[in-house]
Amino acid sequence: MAWLEKTAWVTLAAMLVAYSVYFTVISLTPLSTFSMLALFGAVMVIQVVVVIVVIAVLAALSSGEARAKPDERDRAIARRGASTAYYVLMAGVITVGVIMPFNRSGWSLVNAALFALVSAETVRQLVIVASYRRGWHG
């Protein structure tokens, strides 16, 4: 498995777990501003720490492939992921902009924008993983 595919799997799994918890909690439980900030901060920090630790362990276990520069296939797959995610992010931002005038809750907008970001990043990582698994001709 290519090194960048491994990091994509780790990032994808950590993000899906972390933000599934976050969006489930905020949709089921009314939270104060402080509680929501604390929850968001905790989820984000835990996600980042888990990703860093797991990738560091994988790098230590790999025989130098973590230090190798991305080659042309890695770069082509990364471009495909980013360009696909761009459309998801644009759709999300436009949706947030459309609902903004009809919503007085700042947190609803923040969470909608966060959902757009998480969706775009999820699509990016999914496209990267799928491209490594199924093949991509650049």
Partner 1 sequence: MAEARISNQIRTLRFLAGEMTQAELGAKIGVTRQTIAAIEQGKYSPTLEAAFRIAAALGKSLDEVFKWEGCGR
H or E stretch covering 61: helix 33-61
CA dist 49 and 76 (Å) reads 28
Q: For partner 1, give the closer residue by CB, 42 or 68.
A: 68
Count of CA atoms in the C-beta half-sphere (13 A) of 121: 16
CB of 1 to partner 1, least distance (A): 7
CB of 83 to partner 1, least distance (A): 17
Q: For partner 1, give the closer residue by CB, 93 or 130.
A: 130
The residue assigned the tokens 């630790």 is 53
Q: For partner 1, give the closer residue by CB, 82 or 110.
A: 82
Q: For partner 1, give the closer residue by CB, 4 or 43.
A: 4
CB of 76 to partner 1, least distance (A): 8
Q: Which residues contact 133 (CB under 8 A, 6 or more apart)?
A: 5
As given in the structure block, the two tokens for residue 86 are 């761009």
CA dist 129 and 51 (Å) reads 16
CB of 65 to partner 1, least distance (A): 7
Residues of this chain that interact with partner 1 (CB under 8 A) are 1-3, 5, 65, 68, 71-74, 76, 134-138
